[in-house]
Amino acid sequence: MIGNSLKTTSPQVYSKEEYLEKRVELNGIALYDGDGDGTGAAAIWLAQKTGNYLAITNTRKNKRDLVNDVFDLNLSPITPLKVGIFDIDAEQNLEGIEKLLNMNSEIDFFDHHTRIQLPGEINNYSKPDSRETSTASLVYLFFKERYPTAEETDKRKAAHLAILGLANDGKSSGIEKFSQEIAKEEIERLTYLGKVLNYSANLGNTLDFREILSQFLKTPNIITYLNSDPKITSAASNMENSVQELIQKVEKTEVKNNVLYTFPSQTPREIITSNAFYQNFMNQSAAEDPTKYHLGIFKMADGKYGLAIRGENALDLAEKIAKHYDIKPLGRKTAAGFGTSKEINTSGLLRILGEI
């Protein structure tokens, strides 16, 4: 089984493979994005449940209809399921969500990327993206309101998981809000470890986030676990080496209200390895100066060119730039981008910015 929390009333949590083997009667399901934010959010929610729970995660960030995976298992619950959905793209999962509703499931939906109208009677705790929220921090606020008399150890662990989720998503403003209740050195360590988990998730989950959920539920101290796990230590070392190597090669150009980065050309293998660096680099740059737009040009593994944008209205800027490449961008308000077979270079992008 995936694991238990400290509480004697905590649930027994099963991976999909364990459930298929044992076919226990389920009380609920947790569906979560495989990174530090989604996993931390699921752990906070699950720790307060009882009974048997199925936990399913994806292997790439928000890339597929995760909820529909549930129906591959041919579930036939005797009682309505309690379902938690964390950090998962709602639009890609609407069909599966409607199926869960048809099973009379009670659904808690948490996401910080956007807030859309969901079908039926769903507890929708999602919010539009901001610099202060992650999915784990939203579940933490829910936890504090729903369980005001929770044990101090549980409250502290939930706060640690919220900080980890915020750090995973580069939300420094949200982390600062914990300065009155969590020691500075703990916040600094969780911030670093959150970046490590995000690095792994962007590489296609070099870490097993099912096992990480297990440990989040079992351990009394999140920081001690993350510091001592050899796989996470190795991921941290890989991140440090990649960052130090790549950061020396990034070209920076400033013009008006824009900071433009051109990442070095690399082999396909190197590009795959450094994709997490691109994302973390852009998030960190935007966090350090949120008054500007931060744009990054890079080559993708399939040979196409990519443009990543961070900033207050990144998606709006991405749409204006993408018109020049005859493509529609993807993303959300503060983080967007697109890929194209047409070459994206510094001079061409500066020209486009000058025309906008």
* Closest to 112 in 3D by CA, of 332, 338, 291, 289: 332
For the cut 80, the answer to whether the pLDDT of residue 71 exceeds it is no
Query: For position 263, what pLDDT does the model report?
Result: 76
What is the distance between the alpha carbons of residues 283 and 155, in angstroms, rounded to a whole number?
28
Rounded Cα distance between 159 and 74, Å, is 36
203 falls in which pLDDT band (50, 70, 90)? low
What is the predicted pLDDT for the residue at 298? 83
Query: Lowest mean pLDDT: which of 78-92, 94-108, 253-267?
Result: 253-267
pLDDT in tens, 262-279: 877 654 444 444 455 677
Element (H, E) at 35: none
Lowest mean pLDDT among 114-123, 237-246, 275-284, 288-297: 275-284
- Digit-coded pLDDT (tens) for 32-65: 998 999 999 999 999 999 999 999 998 654 445 6
User: Which token pair is 356?
Assistant: 């906008």
Between residues 68 and 31, the one the model is more confident about: 31
- Res 232 pLDDT > 50: yes
Give 321-328 contacts, CB < 8 A, sequence gap 24+.
Answer: 321/349, 321/352, 321/353, 321/356, 324/352
- Give the pLDDT score at 93: 81
- pTM for this predicted structure: 0.75
Model pLDDT, residue 303: 76
Cβ neighbors of 86 (< 8 A, separation 6 or more) are 30, 31, 32, 33, 38, 41, 42, 45, 110, 111, 135, 139
Q: Give residue limits of the domains in the chain.
A: 12-235, 249-355
Per-residue pLDDT at 270: 47
* Pairing status of strand 251-255 against strand 123-124: unpaired
> What top-level class would CATH report for the domain 12-235?
alpha beta
- In terms of C-beta distances under 8 Å and separation of at least 24 residues, what long-range contacts does 288-292 make, across chains too? 289/259, 290/131, 291/257, 292/257, 292/258, 292/259
Higher pLDDT, 77 or 107: 107
pLDDT-above-70 percentage for the chain: 87
Most confident of 4-13, 58-67, 164-173, 318-327: 318-327
Reference 311, options 329, 333, 279, 328; nearest CA is 333
Mean pLDDT of 76-83: 83
C-alpha 352/C-alpha 356 separation (Å) is 6
Highest mean pLDDT among 63-77, 88-102, 217-231, 334-348: 217-231
Across the range 232-244, mean pLDDT stands at 82
**Cβ–Cβ under 8 Å, residues 53 and 29:** yes
Residues with Cβ within 8 Å of residue 21, at least 6 apart in sequence: none
Q: What is the CA radius of gyration of the chain?
A: 21
Helices (H), the chain: 16-22, 36-46, 94-102, 135-146, 152-168, 172-176, 184-202, 209-218, 222-228, 230-247, 268-288, 314-322, 346-355
**DSSP state letter for 68:** G
**Among 302, 340, 304, which Cα is nearest to 321's?**
340
Specify the pLDDT at position 269. 43
pLDDT tier for residue 190 given thresholds of 50, 70 and 90: very high
Give me the count of residues in the chain.
356
- In the prediction, which pLDDT does 200 show? 83
Structure confidence at residue 9 (pLDDT): 56
CATH 3.40.50.150 fits 249-355, yes or no: no
Geometric angle at alpha carbon 64, from 63 and 65, rounded to 5°? 145
Q: Are 40 and 161 in contact (CB under 8 A)?
A: yes
Mean pLDDT of the chain: 84
- The CA-atom distances, in angstroms, between 283 and each of 124, 172, 199, 297, 335 are 27, 10, 12, 14, 9
In this prediction, residue 65 carries a pLDDT of 66
What is the structure's pLDDT at 59?
61
- What is the arithmetic mean of pLDDT over 245-263? 80
| Average pLDDT rounded to a whole number, residues 197-217 | 84
* Cross-strand pairs, 258: 255, 293
State mean pLDDT over 288-317. 86
> Cα 143 to chain center, whole Å?
19
Share of the chain above pLDDT 90, in %: 41
Q: Looking at the predicted structure, is the pLDDT value of residue 148 above 70?
A: yes
- State how far the Cα of 87 lies from the Cα of 181, in Å rounded to an integer: 25
What are the CA-CA distances from residue 168 to residues 96, 173, 182, 256 (Å)?
27, 13, 18, 30
